[in-house]
Amino acid sequence: MTRRIVLWIALACLLASCLPGERFGQAAPSPRPGNDATATAVPIPTKPTGWCKRPYADSSIWNVPIDWDFARVHPQNQNMMAAFFAGDAWIGSDADQYAPNIYMVDNDTPLVAVKLRKNRFRDALDDLTIHYGQSGGVVMVPLPANALPAPGTDAQLVAVNVDTGEEWGIFRGDIVMGNWIADGVYRYHIDNSGIPPKGFAHRGAGIGSLAGIVRPCEVERGYIDHAVTLAYDSACEPSTCEANGWPAYIPPFTKTDGDGLSQFDIPDGARLAIRPEVTLEQINQACRMVRGCVVWVLAMQRYGGFIVDNSDHPKTYAEGNETANWDRRVWTPNMLRHIPPSWYVVLDWNFPITR
């Protein structure tokens, strides 16, 4: 997109006051290899280290970009974003707690017994059926010897088998006298849709712990090629949603743990995005040139982010610092503090976001 086109879009938006329900033009380009966007101050893509495969099918809701010729802002966008930012007017990105540790394993990784406290193992290798284990059963999970659950009460862990594509998840895990225990364990597959069958209750909107997570290799290379995950306090409680004529959660997501009672609290599964007329220059200025902030905002502009959980502070999720070892120069808990709230929009779930 040329600078002149961007300026025309910005002018058109200003004249129209960015009314909810409007259609947009094309978003600013993502800084992918070979894209002219890398000629700006946006971090130049570099070769990532380690395994950096995008999980889930290309047709997954996580991986299909927003077509701004089709997407529309929800008519209640202004009220919903006011509810989203009611406590704090910025989105946090703390990877030190409530963020999953992620381990790459293979067929040679030892299987470790994980004892469930009371819940059942959820085995969903496809998107059709969940096979349940016994309540309080034991599940054999491939775990490295140094594996740890993440800090925080959620104590999440993800192990991806790079040989088979299996995605293993542990929720509220702990190690007691050398033995693993957990509230929840699941198995899924990274070639699936990213939306497991109904009954997969690992996170608020019914998804696993890997979906939408930002990893260091993505920031290293200079782009995130999927939607991100978001949380706030709190997605609407079903009766609150229904009072507005909204669903309790937005399909294809399958559940909600929302308990928000504010009139315009947003349903779980709603997609937020950054307005497409926001320019790379504006993004760099708002991000103070922090690489993680820049690539995150561009991902929000291209793919958006889904509300999938509750959090005391508006939050987006990255890989836990214990496995990510985030460089504080490229990813910090408050790097999004200066993103103007007016840049964020709730997309209307009644309209497609692509052809």
Picking from 130, 158, 189, the residue at the C-terminal end of a domain is 189
Scan for tokens 């970009």, then name that residue: 65
Number of domains in the chain: 2
Long-range contacts (CB closer than 8 Å, 24 or more residues apart) made by 86-91: 86/262, 87/233, 87/312, 87/313, 87/314, 88/313, 88/314, 89/341, 90/314, 90/334, 90/336, 90/337, 90/338, 90/339, 90/341, 91/230, 91/314, 91/315, 91/316, 91/336, 91/339
Domain hosting 173: range is 101-189
**Environment class of residue 352 by beta-carbon count within 10 Å: exposed (0-12), middle (13-18) or buried (19+)?**
exposed
Q: What is the largest CA-CA distance in the chain?
A: 65
Beta bridge partner(s), residue 132: 122
- Please indicate, yes or no, whether residues 257 and 321 belong to a single structural domain of this protein: yes
90 & 216 share domain: yes
Q: Mark whether 270 and 290 lie in a shared domain.
A: yes
Integer Cα distance of 150 and 254 in angstroms: 25
If asked whether residues 91 and 217 sit together in one domain, one would say: yes
352, part of any domain: no
Within this chain, do residues 16 and 70 fall inside the same structural domain, yes or no?
A: yes
- At residue 44, the pLDDT reads 43
Q: Which two tokens stand for residue 21?
A: 């329900």
Q: Is residue 202 situated within a structural domain? A: no
| 271-274 and 138-142 beta bridge pairing | unpaired
55 token code pair: 């999980």
The strand ranges marked E within 117-178 are 122-123, 131-132, 138-142, 157-161, 166-171, 174-176
Judgement on whether residues 59 and 121 belong to the same structural domain of the protein: no
Q: At 291, is the secondary structure helix, strand, or coil? A: helix
Same structural domain, 251 and 328: yes
Q: Which of 253, 313, 302, 307 is nearest to 280 (CA)?
A: 302
Instruction: Say if CB 307 and CB 253 are below 8 A apart.
Output: no
The closest alpha carbon to 275, from 65, 25, 3, belongs to 25
Same domain for 130 and 84, yes or no, is no
Each residue's pLDDT expressed in tens, for the chain with a length of 355 residues: 433 333 333 333 433 333 345 555 444 544 443 333 332 344 444 444 468 999 999 999 999 999 999 999 999 999 999 999 999 999 999 999 999 999 999 999 999 999 999 999 999 999 999 999 999 999 999 999 999 999 999 999 999 999 999 999 999 999 999 999 999 999 999 999 999 999 998 899 999 999 999 999 999 999 999 999 999 999 999 999 999 999 999 999 999 999 999 999 999 999 999 999 999 999 999 999 999 999 999 999 999 999 999 999 999 999 999 999 999 999 999 999 999 999 999 999 999 999 8
Is 222 in the same domain as 332? yes
In this structure, the answer to whether residues 91 and 152 fall within a common structural domain is: no
In a domain, residue 205? The reply is no
- CB 217, CB 235: distance < 8 Å: no
